[in-house]
Amino acid sequence: MISRRDFFKGAGAVAVSTAAVSRVGAASLPEAMVMDNAKTHVPPLPATGRPFNPVVTLNGWSLPWRMNNGVKEFHLVAEPVVREFAPGMKVNLWGYNGQSPGPTIEVVEGDRVRIFVTNKLPEHTSVHWHGQRLPNGMDGVTGLTQPGIPPGKTFVYEFVAKRPGTFMYHPHADEMTQMAMGMMGFWVTHPKDITRFAVDRDFVFLLSAYDIEPGSYTPKVNTMLDFNLWTFNSRVFPGIDSMPVRQGDRVRIRVGNLTMTNHPIHLHGHEFEVTGTDGGWTPPGSRWPEVTTDVAVGQMRAIEFIATDPGDWAFHCHKSHHTMNAMGHDVPTLIGVDHRGIAEKINKIVPDYMVMGDKGGSMGGMEMPIPENTLPMMTGDGPFGGVEMGGMFTVLKVRKDQKRGDYSDPGWYKHPAGTVAYEWTGQLPEPVRNNDAGRSLMPAANKPDVELQVRKPAGHGEH
């Protein structure tokens, strides 16, 4: 994290909107903090304000604040940023304070919050505080509840965080462009009672999607459906950090969806309950066990579980093409096609040509050349070889000896003897197969097969 004490100095100084900030004083702007890397940063316990248990933003950070006469003040800077999706690929995005998504904002129920928003984009913007109860004029909808924040100006939002829960922030200005360029962030309002809804580990991240042509650096902002990079906090596997927990921990994972489709989020090895939405905490009597929960567009979900079983457990979107990185949508399926010798002939015309999907096979192991600043479709190595995943995929690492508050990656799980699937080398019984294609499910009642003859009518008279 780097400071911007000189943020407002120099020829490109940001002009503060006097009308917007006169009541709090333009000269008293809080420092704008910036993050310059994509690691997971565990925030410290709050030094000022009411106490709370901080969340851990996957591949992100929480925004520092200052207390000013009992008001918690933050400074967001909307600006162009460069985000590393995974080693080998950087993308030109728009975000906040040096990153996309922007930093997580953490407050406590009942806090009076003041957020300064400085616009360093080439167009006007706003910030909508998704799910919050607040004065209508602070809701952040350009043209409806406020004018847009012009380039080079700073506006102020001020309201009381009335209820605890899981929220987001994002623009309501030129949304097709600004959301597609990565403008979004997480917001958590903690309960006044620090023991209420307490957990041992509390992870947060946003789901986002981008359409970035292989070899390019900037998303296509007019794409509506055919995105090719599906991300947790604008990171794709294997660039997504793991979630290390201690065996026996009560774990909460909060997920917000700002893509254009739903995401069935699935956890291996454990069942969980949905304990919260952006509408509030779900009553305990209404919860039921799941291993997958669907997070629809614009929704937040908080899931909780006890990390009972040690191991490296996959956590991912269950739409299979969302666990892949950029690929073409028009690649034909060649399973069952005999093309022996074809690849060699095509290679003479198109060097490095490679047949894909001829046996349904693994694309993760293909080592074909790819354009600069592009990631393989499936990648990442595990202790037993290629994981063959990308996109919305990470690993929950449950360890008996993981210390409380330790979020460092413990490495790969060491399986006890006799607990890993292995090759069978003994004699195999003949498998039983059903070859009637389901006909036996609806047998004819002692009737012979009937041959049907179909005659096409000629003219309207025989309809």
Look at residue 96 and tell me whether its pLDDT is greater than 70. Answer: yes
- Whole-number Å distance between alpha carbons of 412 and 421: 16
Q: What is the pLDDT of residue 441?
A: 67
- Higher-pLDDT residue of 151, 7: 151
Do 16 and 153 contact (CB within 8 A), yes or no?
yes
CA-to-CA distance for 207 and 205, rounded, in angstroms? 7
Instruction: For the chain, report the end-to-end CA distance as a whole number of angstroms.
Output: 77
Residue 380's pLDDT band (cuts 50, 70, 90):
confident
Which helix (H) or strand (E) covers residue 179, if one does? Answer: helix 175-180
Q: How far is CA 270 from CA 185, 230, 264, 293, 396, in A?
A: 28, 24, 16, 13, 10
* 3-state SS assignment for residue 41: coil
Tell me the mean pLDDT in the region 349-359.
58
Residue 453: is its pLDDT beyond 50? yes
User: Minimum mean pLDDT among 43-47, 277-281, 426-430, 454-458: which range?
Assistant: 454-458
Residue of 160, 147, 125, 151 whose CA lies nearest to 19: 147
Compute CA distances 27 → 6, 22, 23, 301, whole Å: 13, 9, 11, 39
CA gap 186, 169 in Å, rounded:
6
The values of phi and psi at residue 338, to 5°, are: -85, 105
Largest pairwise CA distance in the chain: 93
3-state secondary structure of 115: strand
Q: Record the pTM.
A: 0.84
Burial 208-229 (b: 16+ CB within 10 A, else e): bbbbbebebeebeeebeeebbb
Q: What is the pLDDT of residues 26-47, one digit of tens each?
A: 457 899 999 989 999 999 999 9
- Name 156's bridge partners: 116
Residues 6+ apart with CB under 8 A from 387: 237, 238, 364, 378, 379, 380, 381, 393
The DSSP secondary-structure symbol of 333 reads P
Could you report the per-residue pLDDT of 149-191, keeping only the tens digit for each? 999 999 999 999 999 999 999 999 999 999 999 999 999 999 9
Query: Does residue 400 carry a pLDDT above 90?
Result: yes
Tokens of 173: 């200005």
Question: Which amino acid is located at 383 in the chain?
Answer: P
Instruction: Give how far Cα 26 sits from Cα of 18, 67, 155, 391, Å.
Output: 7, 16, 10, 43
Structure-token pair, residue 366: 């293909």
Mean pLDDT over all residues of the chain? 87
Q: What is the mean pLDDT of residues 432-460?
A: 67
Contact 332, 342 (CB under 8 A): no
Please work out, in degrees rounded to the nearest 5, the angle formed at the alpha carbon of residue 301 by the alpha carbons of 297 and 307.
140
pLDDT of residue 372: 87
